[in-house]
Amino acid sequence: MSDIHHNYTNGRAFAIGITLNLAFVVVEVFYGLVANSSALLADAGHNASDVLGLFFAWLAFRLANLKPKGKYTYGWQRSTILSSIINAILLFIAVYFIAKDAIFKLQHPSPVGGTSVMLVATIGIVINTITALMFLKDQKHDLNIKGAFLHMIADAAVSLGVVIAGLLITLTGYQWIDPAVSFVIIAVVLWGTWRLFIDSLNLALDAVPKNINVQEVREALQSFPGVEDTHDLHVWALSTNQTALSVHLVVPGEGGDTFLADVQKMLKKDFNISHTTIQIEKNINNSIECSHS
């Protein structure tokens, strides 16, 4: 029941977030052109990439919940990792166009409607904050949802910067402030996007997830009652919120009836590793016999 509620809540959050941000992009583009604001158009480009990012994240979220069948024996869970990579690439593309427009505005300054900029950007703060709050709870457990959360928080911060830019333009009349704020937006976007890209790429390459210390896992297994030695330990991500492990454990004699279940419970409780493949090697009179579990 909790999984159904979890899926419904996140699905609704994605739907609301996509709808609100898509509508806001249209508003920003319109008023960005009317007010001749590079900052508003830059923010619109950033938000447009986030709408696509939210869509891909939502699609991956839906695919990850499909049951395994046919040749996809793991299901579609790794689509969440691919979604994170696509999300990062879209943001890099958006940064390019934002920078291109800002450079042009610096070289060819023109009047900017500061009041319109402030009003539209204020709406952006409200929309992005609402969307981010919908992902607040689950972003700690899923890199894909964390990416959506970070984008919305960054968007809210960027919109605040645009409001400040509009205010300064209105007070001082300095038109260069508008494209200058675009470069601040670029710095914010690149900082968050680069981290998301590296984390996603590491997961795609089956690196150990950031939240797991593989040495601690090894030590926990080696110190587990009944385990004499461990080798061939591998830890990787099945998706942005599920971790898998495979390992060979050397145990004396036959071991207890609940040994395997106890090891799995420990891995789930201490490291949140839910998908385990364990090979038991029985040490009988210094002779190793293998059995798979």
Instruction: Split the chain (293 residues) into runs of 10 and give each run's mean pLDDT.
Output: 50 83 87 78 75 77 74 74 79 79 77 77 87 76 71 78 82 82 79 81 84 92 90 86 88 73 92 89 60 50
Please provide residue 230's backbone torsions phi and psi, each rounded to the nearest 5 degrees. Answer: -135, 150
Say which CATH architecture domain 214-292 belongs to: 2-Layer Sandwich (3.30)
Please provide residue 279's backbone torsions phi and psi, each rounded to the nearest 5 degrees. Answer: -105, 125
Three-class DSSP labels, the chain: CHHHHHHHHHHHHHHHHHHHHHHHHHHHHHHHHHHCCHHHHHHHHHHHHHHHHHHHHHHHHHHHCCCCECCECCCCCCHHHHHHHHHHHHHHHHHHHHHHHHHHHHHCCCCCCHHHHHHHHHHHHHHHHHHHHHHCCHHHCCHHHHHHHHHHHHHHHHHHHHHHHHHHHHHHCCCCHHHHHHHHHHHHHHHHHHHHHHHHHHHHCCCCCCCCCHHHHHHHHHCCCCCCEEEEEEEEECCCCCEEEEEEEEEECCCCCCHHHHHHHHHHHHHCCCEEEEEEEEEECCEEEEEEC
For residue 115 the two structure tokens come to 């009041």
Predicted local confidence at residue 96, as pLDDT: 82
For residue 164 the two structure tokens come to 């400040």
Predicted local confidence at residue 1, as pLDDT: 38
* Paired sense of beta strands 287-292 and 229-237, if any: unpaired
- Give 251's strand partners: 282
- CA distance linking residue 243 with residue 252, whole number of Å: 28
User: What is the CATH T-level fold of the domain 2-204, as seen in this structure?
Assistant: Alpha-lytic protease prodomain-like (1.20.1510)
Closest CA relative to residue 105, chosen from 53, 18, 181, 27: 181
- Give 19's strand partners: none
For residue 36 the two structure tokens come to 């001749």
For residue 67 the two structure tokens come to 């049951």
Per-domain boundaries in the chain: 2-204, 214-292
Do residues 74 and 161 touch, judged by C-beta distance below 8 A?
A: no
